[in-house]
Amino acid sequence: MSRDLQTTRTRRGGRDSAFRPIAFALLGFWTLTAAATAQQSSYPIYTQDDFVKTMKSVGQNFGAINTAIAANDFEEAKGRVVRSREQLATTVTFWRKNKKEDAVKMWRAAITKMDELDTALSAETVDKDAASALVKQVGAACGACHAQYREQDPTTKAYRLKPGSVQ
C-alpha cells in the first residue's frame, strides 16, 4: 500500500515538472492580465464596464418607450426618453477617451433624435404617429453605431464591443 503511494507520488512528481513551463507561462499571462487591469483602472472616470452597464439600461428605458406610446401614456414615454437620453449622454466619455470621432458623430445623431422625440412627446396634444416615427428614427441612429461597433456572440447571444475597436 505504502509502496503504491510512493510510486504514485513519484509519477505525479514527474508530471509536475513536465507541466512546470506551462505553469510559468500561465503565471506570466496572469501577471500581464493583472497589469492590464491595473492600467484600465487608472481611468477611474469611465471604464468599458461602465459603458456596457450604461448601454444595458439605455436599452431597457428605450425599449419601454414604444410600450408607453402604444398605451397612450405619453408622460411615461417622455420619462423614459429623458432617462435613456441622460444615460446615453454619459457614454460619449468612452468614445472621447478612445478618440473615436466617428462614434462621437453617431452618438450625437442619436442624442439629437432623442431630443426631437422629447419635444414631440412634450406637445400639448401628442401626435402619436409622429412620435412613433421618431422612435424608429432614434432606433436607426442607435443601430448605425451598433452596426459599426457592436457584435453578438452567435452562441450566447451576448453583445460586446467589436474586438479591436478601441485600444
Instruction: Summarize as ranges the residues that interact with ligand HEC (CB under 6 A).
Output: 52, 55-56, 58-59, 62, 84, 88, 103, 106-107, 110, 138, 142, 145-146, 149-150, 159-161
* Nearest-CB residue for ligand HEC: 59
Toward ligand HEC, which CB reaches closer, 74 or 134?
A: 134
* Cα-Cα end-to-end distance for the chain: 58
Of 128 and 165, the one with the shorter C-beta distance to ligand HEC is 165
DSSP codes joined into one string, 124-135: SS--HHHHHHHH
Q: How far is the CB of 92 from ligand HEC (least distance, A)?
A: 8
Closest to ligand HEC by CB, 77 or 88: 88
C-alpha of 130 from chain center: 30
State the Cα–Cα distance between residues 46 and 160, nearest whole angstrom: 17
The nearest distance, CB 44 to ligand HEC, in angstroms, is 20
Tell me the Cα Rg of the chain: 25
Minimal distance in Å, beta carbon 72 to ligand HEC? 22
Can you tell me the distance from the alpha carbon of 125 to that of 92, in angstroms, rounded to the nearest whole number?
33
Give me the least distance between CB of 147 and ligand HEC, in Å please. 10
What are the cell numbers at 79? 420619462
CA distance readout (Å), 81 to 14, 50, 87, 131: 64, 20, 10, 11
Nearer to ligand HEC, 55 or 74 (CB): 55
